[in-house]
Chains A and B, each alone.
Chain A
Amino acid sequence: MGVWSPAFEHKFLDGNLLNFDAAARGTDPDITFEAPLVRPTPPPLDRGFPVRRGNRFRYAFKPGLFGNVIGADIQLEIAFPPGTTGQTAGNVVLGNDVVRFLLGFIGGGARLQLVVNGVFLAVVANFDPAAPFRVQARWHTHGPAQIWVNGSLRTYNPTLAPGQSLTIERLAFGHQDASGSTPGAPAFLIRRLGVKLLRKDDAQRALNRLFPVEEAEVDEVCRRRLSAAQDGVLSEFRGFMQQAVAKLTTTWSAGQPGGPFTAEGLAAHAAGVKVARAFVEFMLGRPSGDPEIIKARIGEFLTAIRATDPAAYDQAIARLAATSTPLDAQCLAQLQPLVQRYGAQLQPTMDLLQALWTKMQSPQVTP
């Protein structure tokens, strides 16, 4: 399974617009549509959501489910019915306009625009209207934002709305104008819409799955202390990562020479992937999770990102090293049953983590 949280997925597999998946699906969507919401299953080529004036699909997420969103990923598969030559436009909107993915088509040309809290990334692309057209927009709070067309990166910005945390309480897609009904107007078909969101704790939840432990009752004060301490640590990392991303990558669009990633950035990314991958394998007890590989690769990764601002890195590590546990005796007592039960099993993990913390404090790798 993934790290990001699935929020919404509609594949338009039949004629029932209500045949979709959504996180904690409960409420009915609010759909303005030119035909009944449940129609007999049309032929495969006609399946999809025709985007033209009057057709709009709105869905409200369970309140509180998507607070603290630090990443958004929107994927669309689009088809153009034969003879669709006129200008067509549509969008996918998340939250109260905090994330918008705007789509405009005329003939074989597309203008795509990702807007996060008013800041935008745009690209123009040519495509074959007779072939399936896949587009993807992705944003992360560390700054990077990308738009992909048919699997190829078309534009990249390393500093789009860095540091932002969003609340996404609803989703809408279709034509921006939901008034009236225009069944004969030119339309493109959304064949699939997939939205994934990254909440601030999603990655930790993913790591938790690697070694399931029984849950323990912990009082509100202790939980808040734990959470605040972890937020503080992550804030240090995120602040540093934002500036590292900005230095290791650059604004780029297809057609420009070179690419968005520096050699150092690519190396850091490769090392980071290897660290995380090997760590997962280690936690799952697979042979490929060799602790020595993890230690070596994290050294490479940290060396590369430290080089983007050595002083800031050293200061951040020093601040972390100076912090002490947020858990008082009472909190520690509440967690003791977990320690008693799992402490010994986790000893190899703690040995590895100790080595990684040592590397974080002194990451230098000889090239």
Chain B
Amino acid sequence: MTSITENAARALALGFNLTGRLTHAQVQQLAADWFPEIRFHEAERFHPVDLERLFKIPPAVMDALPPLAQEAFLITVSGPTGEQRFFPPVVRNGSTVLLHGGEIERSIDVTPDGTERLAEDVDPDTVYTHGAGLDRSSQFFGASTTVSGNPDPGPGDPRVPRHPIGVHAEVRFLLDALRHYLQKNTPEDALWGSFNVENLIIESPDQAPRQPTPPRELKIEILRDLVAGFEARDAAQQAAAIDRINQQPDWSLNQRAWDAVRFYAFVEYYFVYAYNDYPDYGDWPFVNEHEGDVEGCCVVFDRRDLDQVAAGTKPIGEVIAHTVITSVHEEFNDNDELKRLPVERDRARDDLVVYVAPGSHATYLTAGSHDVLDWEDILTDWPGQVGGWKEVVVCINYPLIFPILLIAALIEHFVDAEDQTSDNGVRTGPELTTPASPTTFPSELNVAPLSDIGSDLNLYHAGLVPPRNSLDPAELARRAYPGKWGGHDGVADHSATWGDKTPRYFKKFLSNGEIVGEVIL
């Protein structure tokens, strides 16, 4: 694992820029103009907070507790030298504690605040935790009373967000995201991103597991040429790259995917929650819970509009968002939702509403009940293979298949899990900086600077020596942190790392979106 300083230097060398020719100031305006209205369920206990508050709230709450009460919330870490107890949160590699709540500055926006220590020694196995339990998360982050002061929420009387609602936004021009994915010697962190869509752009026959690894490297190499040819407006280079695709047996360029990459850009809104308490709301089977939960939605723009904004030929106020895409449970469930927005600006703005299901924090586009579906799982049978624990059991003791199959026959009769979304809970959004009703709450929109690292504002500037543009190294360290955002590591209950959602949104856009390719006048 490289350090933030090394990553920042690499980003500089690679010309990191995810926003085309848009400046960060323009990006901020765009993200604010098209910040969706977010409607939470009235029973929602954990509203989104920004990454900074994940670190600063637990020790601040601890400070307010009497010492005896603090005891229950200290985090125990066992190591070679015995057990040690820390103020939450703790960031650790195994038994080695990198950072704990006792070392973190409690005040928001004060820097350095201690979290800049995450710039070193962190990797995908590093764990952030404030206790990995519902009780602890509730203590630090959970809403407890409703708007009218009741303990139990109801329609129109939702739980009041415990802390200011925070939303993180990032703009990713898809062509730029692809170019950076294809580069070599890239930063190894959670900020750089991984727009791994080579198999969507260059299609080839499905490969069963245990077959030779698909020739990913060849696809990457061809795509580098294709992207370079397009950016240089070099028709011959592009044609040569496409020829190389067609020369491979059964390979083909997915023109729709290539058009989507070239002509669209995403504004991704990330909602960071302290805890996923889905079992309190969702029905069996296979509900999960875990500390740390990064969800969100995406607003799609036609890049050609944004290029005009950058060129000064179109006011940013005339840009109209194209599509909204949500994020529903796991990427592999393929259950995200998409809506083409109306073509009139006001109507598009009014239609930009996302609903958050309580507990799971899956985002939807309508209020009501939603089956929790997994579109991909039904396709995972491969001829010639068996892969189930029951086969192991059958091998060892055959009659044990009888109770297994009895339980299988039982679970067929149960109703599948559902998410519920509602118009009757807390709302936040762009027009809501001044609350209009008791259930409307303001939110802080934090737009990460990801514009041209050479000429504009980019978060990696904070990792350079010395930092540039007054950006905060702690902010970069938190956003680039590659580890897990919680302490659950079970089969169903597991905390994840921050994975940018660009590939999954792209997949949905490709599958269901309205994509217009080259316009020839």
A interface residues with partner B (beta carbon < 8 Å): 1-6, 9, 11, 13-16, 18-21, 23-25, 38, 40-41, 43-44, 65, 70-71, 75, 77, 140, 142, 194, 196, 198, 202-220, 223, 226, 229-230, 233-234, 237-238, 241, 269, 272-273, 275-277, 279-280, 284-286, 298, 301, 320-321, 323-327, 332, 335-336, 338-339, 342-343, 346, 349-350, 353-354, 356-357, 360
A15 to B377 CA separation, bound complex (whole angstroms): 29
12 contacts between A and B (CB under 8 A): A1-B329, A4-B416, A9-B373, A13-B337, A16-B514, A19-B339, A41-B340, A41-B341, A75-B371, A210-B491, A213-B387, A353-B393
- Within the complex, the shortest CB–CB distance from A247 to chain B, in Å, comes to 16
Question: Are A338 and B391 neighbours in the complex by a CB distance under 8 Å?
Answer: yes
- Within the complex, the shortest CB–CB distance from A44 to chain B, in Å, comes to 7
Residues of chain A within 8 A (CB-CB) of B411 are 3, 203, 206-207, 276, 280
Question: Are A233 and B405 neighbours in the complex by a CB distance under 8 Å?
Answer: yes
Given contacts A335-B392, A349-B393, contact A215 B385 (CB under 8 A): yes
Given contacts A213-B392, A343-B392, contact A13 B366 (CB under 8 A): yes
Question: Are A2 and B338 neighbours in the complex by a CB distance under 8 Å?
Answer: no
- Within the complex, the shortest CB–CB distance from A69 to chain B, in Å, comes to 12
Given contacts A23-B378, A23-B379, contact A218 B386 (CB under 8 A): yes
CB-nearest residue of chain A to B353: A44
The answer to whether the Cβ of B410 comes within 8 Å of any Cβ in the partner chain is yes
Determine which of B334, B341, B396, B511 lies in contact with A343 in the assembled complex, contact meaning CB atoms within 8 Å: B396
Question: Are B209 and A215 neighbours in the complex by a CB distance under 8 Å?
Answer: yes
- Within the complex, the shortest CB–CB distance from B324 to chain A, in Å, comes to 9
Question: Are B490 and A285 neighbours in the complex by a CB distance under 8 Å?
Answer: yes
Given contacts A71-B412, A276-B407, A284-B493, contact A216 B387 (CB under 8 A): yes
Interface of chain B residues 219 through 268 with chain A (CB within 8 A): none
Question: Are A214 and B404 neighbours in the complex by a CB distance under 8 Å?
Answer: no
A323 to B402 CA separation, bound complex (whole angstroms): 11
Residues of chain A within 8 A (CB-CB) of B395 are 327, 332, 335-336, 338-339
Question: Are B407 and A275 neighbours in the complex by a CB distance under 8 Å?
Answer: yes
Residues of chain A within 8 A (CB-CB) of B391 are 216, 226, 335, 338
A336 to B396 CA separation, bound complex (whole angstroms): 9
B interface residues with partner A (beta carbon < 8 Å): 209-210, 284-286, 329, 333-335, 337-343, 347, 351, 365-366, 368, 371-375, 377-379, 382, 384-414, 416-417, 490-493, 511-514
Question: Are A19 and B384 neighbours in the complex by a CB distance under 8 Å?
Answer: no
A209 to B488 CA separation, bound complex (whole angstroms): 18
Closest 10 CB pairs of A and B: A2-B416, A215-B387, A356-B403, A325-B398, A203-B408, A208-B388, A6-B373, A14-B340, A353-B400, A211-B389
A9 to B511 CA separation, bound complex (whole angstroms): 14
- Within the complex, the shortest CB–CB distance from B69 to chain A, in Å, comes to 24
Given contacts A20-B512, A230-B405, contact A350 B366 (CB under 8 A): no
Question: Are A38 and B417 neighbours in the complex by a CB distance under 8 Å?
Answer: no
Given A210-B491, A360-B406, 5 more A-B residue pairs with CB atoms under 8 Å apart are A203-B412, A226-B394, A320-B402, A339-B392, A349-B389
Determine which of B284, B334, B341, B492 lies in contact with A21 in the assembled complex, contact meaning CB atoms within 8 Å: B334
CB-nearest residue of chain B to A18: B512
Question: Are B386 and A16 neighbours in the complex by a CB distance under 8 Å?
Answer: no
Residues of chain A within 8 A (CB-CB) of B343 are 40-41
CB-nearest residue of chain B to A210: B491
- Within the complex, the shortest CB–CB distance from B420 to chain A, in Å, comes to 12
Question: Are A357 and B399 neighbours in the complex by a CB distance under 8 Å?
Answer: yes
- Within the complex, the shortest CB–CB distance from B275 to chain A, in Å, comes to 16
Question: Are A346 and B392 neighbours in the complex by a CB distance under 8 Å?
Answer: yes
Question: Are A2 and B417 neighbours in the complex by a CB distance under 8 Å?
Answer: yes
Residues of chain B within 8 A (CB-CB) of A217 are 210, 384-385
Question: Are A241 and B409 neighbours in the complex by a CB distance under 8 Å?
Answer: yes
A38 to B513 CA separation, bound complex (whole angstroms): 11
Question: Are A284 and B491 neighbours in the complex by a CB distance under 8 Å?
Answer: yes
- Within the complex, the shortest CB–CB distance from A93 to chain B, in Å, comes to 21
Question: Are B375 and A339 neighbours in the complex by a CB distance under 8 Å?
Answer: no
Residues of chain A within 8 A (CB-CB) of B347 are 41, 43
Residues of chain B within 8 A (CB-CB) of A326 are 398
A209 to B382 CA separation, bound complex (whole angstroms): 15
A14 to B339 CA separation, bound complex (whole angstroms): 6
- Within the complex, the shortest CB–CB distance from A253 to chain B, in Å, comes to 21
A207 to B112 CA separation, bound complex (whole angstroms): 49
Question: Are B389 and A208 neighbours in the complex by a CB distance under 8 Å?
Answer: yes
A327 to B377 CA separation, bound complex (whole angstroms): 27
Question: Are A276 and B414 neighbours in the complex by a CB distance under 8 Å?
Answer: yes
Residues of chain A within 8 A (CB-CB) of B491 are 210-212, 284-285
